[in-house]
Amino acid sequence: MSKNEAADRLSDLCDPLLHHIFSYLDMKEVVHTSLLSRRWRYTWRSVSHLNFDHTLWPVSKKTIQSSTTLKREFMEFIDYVLFLRDASNIHKFHLNGSSYCEDHRLVKWLTVIVGRKVQEISLQVWKSFSLSQFIFTYPMNIKTLHLVSAQLHENKSNGELVLRCPVLETLILTCCDHSGLKILDVSAPQLKNLELENDWNNVSRVLIKICAPNLTSLKCIGCMYRQFAMENTSSLVTAAFKYRGFSRTSVHQFIKVLKGLQNVATLELSNCWFKEMFHPSAKYWGEDLSLPYKLRKLRIHNPEGYENELKFLEIILKNAMDLECITITASARTETHNKLLDEFSQKLHSFPRASEMVRIDFVKEKSYQL
């Protein structure tokens, strides 16, 4: 096949297929495709998925470019794309801007995409910009919002940030700065997926309130909020909690969270909270412990092999009548720990079960040398 024939075949691709292909590319690459075919010269102007990544603007080894120059070129390129594209709506706007974005520039870009009825926004802005007053106060059509390293500032005088998005379906907050907050209030009637990943200890001072009657999936990773208030989450089906640095206070709050998971079918837990939860002096549990007894699947990562962990699993097995599978992944650090985990597995398999069909999968890896 000659180069001309190959070019003709590319030119024959229909616009919907072209746009689908372009949705996986950065806009820098998409604009460059205008050089491949005369028909493609202006196709980039109607692309509905706009991806901008500053990492594709590296410092050239042949020319000395300062970070200031790269920052200016990156921002000017986004201006170029947004203000020269046609009037069609924007479906997704993804920006990995690091420190390459000036505040006033970002406000201008967001104003443009909101005017084009954007449905998905993904921003990684490395705490250089406070988004609260813009994204959380505009009546928008956003269905997916993903914020990475953004500053979350109050939009109420009492230190409260209220998120009211009537059509939002997915909210992901990754390593965002909560330092200026006392309360994070998420009220989204159409919210289905919520992911909260925190590596900032300042979330331990924040109360989070969630009112989401259609929420089906909840994932919490890292540091835990001071208090977790869940309202009207009876539709929740899948929940995962991978916390670290638990104290007895946070465990007490986590027990309250468990009480709101009565209809959860799949639950995933890390081991960090067991130690404090089942401390000999703890009064958090017992036969009346409110647990999600509609469970079908339970996953636990890295148990230590202690009696308190067995007690939790014993209660689950005794009460979860619909339970189908318990999957436990463990890593033996020493030969002694390996034996402890073997005993743990044997005891676990001996417990009485409310569900006749439950299967227990115990996956163990050795992380030590014999």
Confidence tier at 284 by pLDDT (50, 70, 90): low
220-244: average pLDDT: 85
CB 152 within 8 A of CB 124: no
Both tokens of 183, joined, read: 């309360």
pLDDT in tens, 105-134: 888 998 899 889 999 999 988 755 566 566
Q: Tell me the domain boundaries of the chain.
A: 259-370
| pLDDT of amino acid 130 | 61
Q: Which residue has the tokens 């420190």?
A: 99
Number of neighbours of residue 204 by Cβ within 10 angstroms: 17
Mean pLDDT of the chain: 82
How many Cα atoms are found within 13 Å in the side-chain-facing hemisphere of 191?
26
d(CA 198, CA 129): 18
Beta strands in 47-111 (DSSP E): 49-53, 92-96
19-23, 142-146, 201-205: least confidently modelled range = 201-205
309-320: average pLDDT: 87
| pLDDT of amino acid 52 | 96
42 SS3 class: coil
Tell whether the model's pLDDT for residue 281 goes beyond 50.
no
d(CA 108, CA 121): 15
Q: Which residue has the tokens 């520039």?
A: 105
231-238: average pLDDT: 88
pLDDT in tens, 54-98: 888 876 555 556 777 888 899 999 999 999 999 999 999 999 986
pLDDT in tens, 349-369: 999 999 999 999 998 876 655
Q: What's the pTM?
A: 0.87
| pLDDT of amino acid 247 | 57
202-229: average pLDDT: 88
200-228: average pLDDT: 87
pLDDT in tens, 3-48: 555 555 667 778 888 889 899 999 999 999 888 877 788 899 999 9
